[in-house]
Chains A and B, each alone.
Chain A
Amino acid sequence: RKEVEQDPGPFNVPEGATVAFNCTYSNSASQSFFWYRQDCRKEPKLLMSVYSSGNEDGRFTAQLNRASQYISLLIRDSKLSDSATYLCVVIVGGYQKVTFGTGTKLQVIP
């Protein structure tokens, strides 16, 4: 089983739709979680951290489910500019090993 798994998509959604991605992780010692956004031919950029209590930033909500070992990203009222690949990042505490998921591609359609 991969350390971090994401559905590669693509997720094709109309403008205004709500879309959700999940990311599962295999190491129960994972301590820190992030969502990154990567536009085509650009570097990944931090979208938001994922806290145990969840995290909301405008139209974006990230949640952590430790029992089932997954994190989620919910995007409400999708905009065309949300089209990108969303990378899940998991850090295992102690030796701070960082693992990136392969990304989920989102395409918002007019």
Chain B
Amino acid sequence: SAVISQKPSRDICQRGTSLTIQCQVDSQVTMMFWYRQQPGQSLTLIATANQGSEATYESGFVIDKFPISRPNLTFSTLTVSNMSPEDSSIYLCSVRSGRNNEQFFGPGTRLTVL
């Protein structure tokens, strides 16, 4: 299994500011995924980050709001830009590895926007 760390683990931010979340994996992976989980709901995929190319965004998510960097095979960042209270959520980094392509998650970043 992959070991994933995220920073920060939580933050409280003011409306209109931006926050960058970092994700570090202990092994090289081709794709890294960014999810959002709002209170009481399941996970929603924001985008897939590939090393050396633009991230692929899911419907409802755009690069201007959630810019992603993927400078190498073990690291990615997600920025939540121009935040509003609706962005309050847990943001999770994820990778796939293993024989059955199991998905592993970082511990998440709990974001509260005031």
On A, residues with C-beta under 8 Å from B are 32, 34, 41-46, 49, 87, 89, 91, 96, 98, 100-103
On B, residues with C-beta under 8 Å from A are 1, 41-43, 45, 92, 100-108, 110
Q: Are B103 and A46 in contact (CB under 8 A)?
A: yes
The residue that B107 contacts in the complex, of A34, A43, A100, with Cβ under 8 A, is A43
The residue that B103 contacts in the complex, of A98, A101, A103, with Cβ under 8 A, is A98
Q: Are B102 and A46 in contact (CB under 8 A)?
A: yes
Chain B residues whose C-beta falls within 8 Å of the C-beta of A44 in the assembled complex: 43, 92, 105
Q: Are A42 and B102 in contact (CB under 8 A)?
A: no
- Answer whether A34 and B42 are a contact pair too, CB < 8 Å, given A43-B92, A43-B108: no
Question: Chain A interface mostly helix, strand, loop or mixed?
Answer: strand
The residue that A43 contacts in the complex, of B100, B101, B105, with Cβ under 8 A, is B105
Chain A residues whose C-beta falls within 8 Å of the C-beta of B103 in the assembled complex: 34, 46, 89, 98
> Nearest 10 CB-CB pairs, A to B?
A43-B105, A102-B42, A100-B43, A100-B42, A43-B108, A49-B100, A46-B102, A43-B107, A44-B105, A43-B92
Chain B residues whose C-beta falls within 8 Å of the C-beta of A100 in the assembled complex: 42-43
Least distance between A101 CB and chain B CB atoms (Å): 6
Q: Are B107 and A42 in contact (CB under 8 A)?
A: yes
Q: Are B105 and A102 in contact (CB under 8 A)?
A: no
Q: Which residue of A lies closest to B101 (CB)?
A: A32
A89 to B41: give the CA distance in the assembly, Å.
Answer: 14
Q: Are B42 and A101 in contact (CB under 8 A)?
A: yes
A63 to B106: give the CA distance in the assembly, Å.
Answer: 27
A49 to B104: give the CA distance in the assembly, Å.
Answer: 13
Q: Are B43 and A46 in contact (CB under 8 A)?
A: no
18 A-B pairs besides A42-B107, A46-B102, A103-B42 with CB distance below 8 A are A32-B100, A32-B101, A34-B103, A42-B108, A43-B92, A43-B105, A43-B107, A43-B108, A44-B43, A45-B105, A46-B104, A87-B43, A89-B103, A91-B101, A98-B45, A98-B103, A102-B41, A102-B42
